Amino acid sequence: MKTNDFYYDLPKELIAQTPAEPRDSSRLLVMHKEDGTLEHKHFYDIIDYLNEGDCLVLNDSRVLPARLFGVKNDTGAVIELLLLKQIEANVWETLVKPGKKAKEGCHISFGDGKLNGIIKEVLPDGNRIIEFDRIDDFYPILDQLGEMPLPPYITEKLEDRERYQTVYSRELGSAAAPTAGLHFTDELLKKIKDKGIKTAFVTLHVGLGTFRPVKADEITEHTMHSEFYQISSEAADIINKAKKNGKRVICVGTTSCRTIESAARDHGEIKECSGWTDIFIYPGYKFNVMDALITNFHLPESTLIMLVSAFCGYENTMNTYNTAVSMNYRFFSFGDAMFVC
């Protein structure tokens, strides 16, 4: 398939700039993938579509305040840094702007010297490897100096940093939020538990590559980015038990989907494991674990809309997206949700 097969026209005003309040008041478009029929609900109605014994798989990754602003020690020029991937305790792969001012050997100071770094390497794709001078107290300092790395299509200032975190986030390491989980509240999760629905927490640290458009004309020519994932023995047991009992495994977000499908691909089953995944799911893929999906509305021509198409069917997906546009659903990270069942 061609990348432009996954294009749809989205008016700019439908790109959500602020999160819904309360979280679970966002709209929910329910798609029944067998026949493509649609229902228009609110997210708090999701509980009506979950059955006792079903298993929700949630990504508990927590977003780093990964955007740093510093100055070059020699010229005082302002440098913007975005942490992408931890290489060692104090060594990170980063995105730097303006890149031409951050050559190898460049010294950068952040927060009037609270944190300092040196560019160790310029990678072929233009990213930089930077080594920081703090190890033991790096994260507390990052929490003081860093800003949330909101996607570029969100231009409104985020007043509460926790609104770009899920209420169950705990494993620090993402460069972007697993946004399907932003709709859940503690109260909704309690109702879900009280109904007898199981929850399995897995971890996938979201990289910015998730949001980058596919540049290849043919989707099979796209090189997928790599992200770290981890599944505990407890989560594996919960997921496997649901499958064994004929219950549904429902992924909250494409990151949860990629985590469990990667585990099944790499290990033949869901078990305690960790590693790096570059799994690319597009139409034609056979799902081994996931039975239903909760997700947001994704960018045109992105790997995420391709994943949704693989699960729902291409025609169903594009029809659903066009319906969502016509009915003024809110799109992307702070937007509304869809449930594919």
Encode pLDDT of 88-105 as tens digits: 989 999 999 998 889 999
Q: What are phi and psi of 271, to 5 degrees?
A: -150, 170
Say yes or no to pLDDT of 312 above 70.
Answer: yes
Task: Give bridge partners of residue 41 from the DSSP assignment.
Answer: 28
**Model pLDDT, residue 213:** 75
Query: Is 95 strand, coil or helix?
Result: strand
Whether a cis peptide bond, with omega within 30° of 0, leads into 98 is: yes
**Residue where the block lists tokens 């949700």:** 337
Eight-class DSSP state of 12 = G
CA distance 174 to 84: 8
Eight-class DSSP state of 180 = G
Eight-class DSSP state of 219 = G
> Which of 135-144, 203-212, 250-259, 310-319 is predicted with the least confidence, judged by mean pLDDT?
203-212
**Model pLDDT, residue 95:** 92
Query: Is 183 strand, coil or helix?
Result: helix
Say yes or no to pLDDT of 210 above 90.
Answer: no
**Model pLDDT, residue 211:** 65
- Alpha helices by DSSP H, the chain: 138-145, 186-194, 233-244, 254-267, 303-312, 314-326
**Model pLDDT, residue 125:** 87
CB count in 10 Å sphere of residue 105: 8
Say yes or no to pLDDT of 208 above 80.
Answer: no
CA distance 329 to 228: 32
**Model pLDDT, residue 98:** 92
> Which of 136-150, 209-223, 249-263 is predicted with the least confidence, judged by mean pLDDT?
209-223
**Model pLDDT, residue 207:** 87
What are the distances in angstroms from CA 227 to CA 203, 262, 303? 10, 11, 14
Return the structure tokens found at 143: 């929490």
Query: Is 231 strand, coil or helix?
Result: strand
Report strand pairing: 91-97 vs 128-132: antiparallel
- Alpha helices by DSSP H, 41-149: 138-145
Average pLDDT of span 12-41 = 97
pTM for the whole structure = 0.93
> Which of 30-44, 200-214, 230-244, 308-322 is predicted with the least confidence, judged by mean pLDDT?
200-214
Average pLDDT of span 222-236 = 95
Average pLDDT of span 128-147 = 94
Mean pLDDT of the chain: 95
User: One-letter amino acid identity for 290?
Assistant: M
Say yes or no to pLDDT of 209 above 80.
Answer: no
